[in-house]
Amino acid sequence: MPGPPLPGLPSSPPSGALPVVPPGPSAGLPSGLASGVPPGLADGLPAGWGDGGLSGLPPGRPLHVAGPDGPWEQVHDQLAGQGHALVHTTWGQWLTAALLDPGLRSALGRDWPRYRQTAAPAGRLRFAVSRMVLKHTAAAALQVPADALDLAYRPGGRPHLRGLAEAEVSLAHTDELIVVGISRSGPIGVDAEPVARRPSFELLHPYVCTPEEAAQLAALGEDERALRLLHLWTLKEAYTKALGHGMRRRFSAVGFCRDEQGRTVLAGEPDDAARWILATHLVHGRYLVSSARRPPREIESASRPAPHPLEETGLPPAATLGWQLPGSSGAQPT
């Protein structure tokens, strides 16, 4: 029997809604995932599997905010204390607030036309909720009114808060999950995927993995390989979102490795550079949430060349792969 939806998700979502993946072992997760950490992967995901981790500086755990009323104190405190904050929720938990908000048009601002033009009711609601969550998160973190924030988009779809250059934001959503990252200490990117998603290593590794990463994954068992590939995908999408490139950059041109402390780091980073801070968390026991951010002294400007040349992603059509590509629900523009 299917398990219950996450808190706040309607028992009968509107037509066109993404399917709900029931929690717990019955969700078809690989063996061992019911406890949150697959066998043998605790050492293989030092960037923070499940309980959070570190790469350079300790990242804060994603904070669950069940609606517009908060609690928001922890969001502000995490931003003040660590320079960034991660928030997660479900669109169902915010659905009533979005539907009943008389100021929804004002809250969406320049996103109102896109909201009105989204044909599928469920897609329209998720779009509205994701923008509400982002604005409320930024408002709580920065201690300003949510309706005073103007959300806009840079070329490529990266969201930003007009007039607040010191604050960077990122947004991801998959199934019913919504994740927002905000940083006052440099660029930030977030990505999320259902842990039960089973990407095909054979079809995807030329587009996702460096040769070194592909060789390491090829030596693993099927379940562990698929999960690590999904983990790599979320890290790479979070990283390229932080750069403002999204899926315009070929993921196989970006590599990750482990340093002498066992932390996940960007391959090829100079020793004297401000290291990218990478983390992956297990949320609700069924979603991978990865974040990537960089300390302020290495903030990339429009006049500074990217560390790797931009390339077309080159991913084959999803229909060819026979499954929904990771990141298709959270890739920029969102």
State the alpha helices, DSSP H only, in 47-196: 73-82, 91-100, 104-108, 112-117, 121-142
Give the residue, 89 or 255, on which the prediction is more confident: 89
pLDDT of residue 86: 94
Give the residue, 11 or 249, on which the prediction is more confident: 249
Count of other CB atoms within 10 angstroms of residue 6: 22
What band does 290 get if pLDDT is binned at 50, 70 and 90? Answer: very high
Cα dihedral across residues 260, 261, 264, 269: positive or negative: negative
Q: Which of 138, 186, 172 is nearest to 246 (CA)?
A: 172
pLDDT above 90 covers what percent of the chain? 33
Query: pLDDT, tens digit, for every residue of 199-225?
Result: 888 888 888 899 999 999 999 998 889
Residue 80 pLDDT exceeds 80: yes
Residue 32 pLDDT exceeds 70: no
Determine how β-strand 287-293 pairs with β-strand 188-194.
antiparallel
Query: pLDDT, tens digit, for every residue of 154-173?
Result: 887 888 898 887 889 999 99
The residue ranges of DSSP E strands in the chain, in sequence order, are 63-64, 84-90, 151-153, 159-161, 168-174, 177-183, 188-194, 256-258, 264-266, 277-283, 287-293
Cα dihedral across residues 216, 221, 222, 226: positive or negative: negative
What band does 135 get if pLDDT is binned at 50, 70 and 90? Answer: very high
Q: Which of 113, 111, 103, 171 is nearest to 137 (CA)?
A: 171
Q: In the predicted model, what is the mean pLDDT of residues 111-128?
A: 91
Rounded Cα distance between 282 and 290, Å, is 9
Rounded Cα distance between 242 and 299, Å, is 10
Taking CA 209 as the corner, what is the angle to CA 193 and CA 270, rounded to the nearest 5 degrees?
105
User: Which residues, in sequence order, are CB contacts of 227 under 8 Å at separation 6+?
Assistant: 30, 38, 41, 195
Q: Is the separation of the CB atoms in 14 and 121 below 8 Å?
A: yes
Q: Is the separation of the CB atoms in 162 and 154 below 8 Å?
A: no
pLDDT of residue 171: 95
Q: What is the value of pTM for the model shown?
A: 0.74
